[in-house]
Structure 1
Amino acid sequence: MASGSAGLRALCASLQSVNLSLSDFKPAPPFSPILDSSTDVVFSTSDSDETVETLPGLKQLKELVKIDLDLLERFLEQPDCDALPPLSTNALYLIAVWNEVKCSPPPLLGLLRSFPGPMEPTPGSKKKKAVRNLVKVDVVAEGGRRWLRVNTIRNSRILAEFREIDSYLTDSDSEDGANPSLAQTELDNSVIRMARTLLKTAEQNPVDTPEGLKPPSVTLRLTRLEPGENDPRIAETVSIVQNMGVEVQLGERTEDELAAIPPSPPSAIELVPSANINLDLSVLIAFVSDLTHAAIPASLEDARTRFLDPTTENETGRALTTQIMQEMLQEMGKGGMFKELHDRLMGPVTLWTTSEARQRFLRIVSKIGGPSEKRRAAVLFDGDGDGDTEAQFWEGSRFPRGYIPCLPIHVYPEDPETPAPDRAPFFVAIEKTCVGILAQESAGPPSNSKKKRKPPPAEYSNNGFPRNPDSERATPTRANAKLTAHTVESMLHGARRGWTTLTANRSSVKALVRELRSGFGTTASGEQQHQGKVAAIWVVDPRSLAESTRERVAVQREKLMSS
């Protein structure tokens, strides 16, 4: 409650300042060791619908501040506002939360978050039913390792609780023990119960740390409680909460504290690939694609005529034209996918893939690949063949023989791999996310018949080529329609070993990171710090099988010219 025009105007001015600061606030996203060598940026910081929300809960905080600010401004515009009943506002709470956002240790993972709390009995239920309530955390900081809750309870409010406790004690004494006593045997109140619930909830929602799974530490900011005044049980309350293991901070943030906020550290870290590279299906296709190896078109018009059939319009031609234009742009800048690999792969490198990715790759190439693409695919996994596999692979390529160390590509053994013990936390978070997604696939059908069915596979794959029902039977996962089981399996192999996963599948990377940040046993604390500089994921532009289309279009154009 707030009253008095002078106090309300000061409060309104503070909330206006918060509203302005929130409008300009650009939180640094949690560090993700993802190396992006694609033409398009995978993780944009814009406000588009396609972007993963930079800081979950920030939009909600902005809306709550705007609602209370509008309420205050309208109230103060009334000429008789001093004579009106006291105004109820959450301004003090919202200001305190914003100050904690500014002062909390980065990276921030969420604001105004709700976590599943401990099971509690349903009040008044004769069947002793228990429910799991959601527990609110105002700021999730330090990569998920710290929870902060703001409480604006005043002395007057907690004194009222004490008076109620004392009334139970008085009633019990007056009845000479005839009825069971409601008096407390030990001090308990709303602040102690909040701290107890936060601790239990933290224990049920552990996060990854370098030392293993641990519950987040809990901080309780009591902005208006003054233990040194009134009843000594207020100070005892603070002491009890601290002895539980909760950090208690009293009072609002001071101007000196807010002025001393250090600048955000630079987020740019030079990432390098691991000595072993994990390849998914999209990169296997890109390695043999005509788009990767053929000479670059001399002009944009040449690029258009290479794949656009003059007799008909089709999605395949447009998709391939877009990809060859990307290759042209990279040739003028970074130098295309192979040039990027050549520049970044330092020292001996070994390439790996899953047996399923290999099988799918060979089926797709056999169905829709051109002669040169099939020749390259035939030797891609051949390290002990009789012929000169290097010469066969690089024949007809615009790159010299052995330009990158891509032969042979090794296939993982069938035996499960023991997770590498010295992986960075982000690899662990990816592994847990992949395991969680795949566990849903192995589960039985959903028991709820009303649950939405998965959408059918898209007509076009992430590489921009029509899906062939005979060669691509991958269906979306239950967890996310933009992820297929074989893609998740590929990501899992790299994460389990602590190796860089090279992929041309942008949408799958975005979907995987979204799932990582939203759950599956982790709050994305794997992003809290980066041990070393090894990239967990390396994204390049997609390259579809294009040789057959180019040859078909060339034949059509020759027929038109000769007619």
Structure 2
Amino acid sequence: MTIDNEVSIPDAVDQDAIVNGLLSKCERLISEVDSFQSLVKQTMRNPQLVEVRQMRSNLVSEIRALEKLQGQIESSTPALLHDPSEEGDDDDDDDESQLRLAHGLRSSNLPFYETVWTVAKTSCTGLVAFWKRFYWDDGESALKQDGDERSQGKRQGKNKRKSVLVDIVADGGEEWVKVSTVPESRLLFEIAEKGWEVDTDASSDGEQGEGSASQRVILRNYDSNDEGQDHESDDDDEIELIKLAAGMRKAANATRVRYRHPRIRFVLPKIEEGKVAEIDHMLEVIRRYDITVVCGNNMPSAMRAPLEETALPGPDNDSHQEQDLSDLLPTPYKSFTPTLNVDCTLLLAMVSDLSHFKHIPPLPNHHLAIKRQIDAEKQKPLLPLELWPAVRGHELVCTEEAAKRFREIVQTIGTETEKERTEIMMGAFRFQNADPETLFQKYQELSDHSVPQDWKLPIRVVEAKTVISSALTHGKLPPVAHLLAETISHINQSVFFYGWVTGITTISSNRTVVKQIETVVEGHRGSDDALEGPHVWICDTARSLVGKEKDRKK
């Protein structure tokens, strides 16, 4: 018996043992997925940004299908044990039943799910989602920032024929991985069935020495009357993997994450490169779409070893070992510059009593937003889980405009402890001559949380107006910057343009302004594929000052 999706199984292996082995693998995979989901919930303020539910749902469906198949095998066991010397009309029915059971085993999707999970956990970082659909539309570009895939949504009314299903979205959305477990034999059959052959072009532009490669291998379809054209419609004569590569490239070209198109990687564990000319040239065609192709014989050992462990589905052959899944967690800080430019919104969060005191009794004069933030802090405190991991070890600066607005707000509605933290954090007034260690200790005294030792104080105030004006005058920023300067406020211009001019990361919770900047940049990109706006990290939430009056607007 042969299970095409996975391996060849010796005839002597009992079907019930095979199903039990597949069930064991499926349960183990679910356990690993559950462990990763728990890790996400423990380490992320917003675990919904990592979509693993589709993988788990598929595995649960597979378990149900295998359990149903197991029941069919058990119910057919008495018939399989009858005396073969007895003649009867039931033999044909028994054979048909066996064929159905064999087909059920061959049709199991578990080997594919296991391969996708293995590829993810051994070669990906910053997981975003499994099996996410991306669309392309003529003249339309879908922009995503900071790995935010939520804006893709269900895309109501979109043409599914103009879309691809990406198996693994990783690296915060910047990498798409497509896994195909198609075996070499099936691929060669498809090549032959669709009329594709290998030609050799003996022409050469230069003189070739004896023994040199003077022939160029060309994979072509002799039945195609429009060879060399870019096929926009479904072409029944096209090889499926090549159609898939073309679709992935179109969807990637219509999508931007942090102003860049996602990278694409194909993983083909059952294909060997350098063995068959037709397959090698098909791989070359795929690579022409700017796609990285990884075949079974050039897989990294870390990826190949777990896949080789699946050679037999029986539980006795499962040598699985627990693996650290932390590399799969999002890595939002990996591209941070050594110096970070802090927006006013996060300066407020860094001094707010809401961020530092674990127990703040709600008062009648508290605005509803304050009450919501008190509840949110009890569940997932902002500083330990998001802000400090982002800024620790980095030099911190803020523009004069941001610092001025920040101090005005604190002086107007801040509590005494919020005002004290402001002076410490900015090294102002009586702390202006204090050394970093003293500032750290004073800051720690005003927080219920353990402040990281590499939280660098004070935050340095920088002059931004002259720097930005000079950059605009001398063309150090792209032309679209002049349009942006007319559409955003002076304070936001000082913050985001300063980071843009100096090339340092700006951190902010002002998602509205960041989205406005992205939209303007993309809307005026033209033919400049390399155009990028300021590098911004968006904190998922913000904190108000606790002194906010109840009747004050949000």
Question: Which TM-score applies when normalising by structure 2?
Answer: 0.47
